[in-house]
Structure 1
């Protein structure tokens, strides 16, 4: 996967990877289709953050999920 390209597919891929890494229970509420390439840079930052760590506290998970919520399409 070439994440240097700002595409809807890459955004959806990163969102799914973030959900899996965080083991988000309510993952169905967060779908790649809720985002578009306009949020690519912000989602890439979250993706890089999530991939840089092995474990997350509950408050970190909540903050990341909240940030994804803010980035969703209206």
Structure 2
């Protein structure tokens, strides 16, 4: 997947991967249409961070969820 291009499809892909990797129970709270292309770079940084690790502490998961919440429209 080429994430260098800002697109709704790439946003959807990154959100799905983040929610899957973090095993977020309420994935409905993070819908791709809640994010716009102006927050694309920040979302991509979170995606890359999540993909770089295998395990997350509860506090890391909370911080990531809070940051995603801050990026929502």
Q: Provide the TM-score with structure 1 as the length reference.
A: 0.94
* Normalised TM-score (structure 2): 0.95
Is there any run of 5+ residues in structure 1 with no aligned partner, and where? Answer: none
Runs of 4+ aligned residues of structure 1 deviating over 6 Å after TM superposition are none
Cα distance in structure 2, aligned partners of 1:14 and 1:32? 9
CA RMSD of aligned residues (A): 0.7
Contact 1:11–1:32, Cα closer than 8 Å, also in 2: yes
Q: Distance in 1 between matches of 2:30 and 2:40?
A: 15
- The runs of 5 or more residues in structure 2 that have no matched partner are none
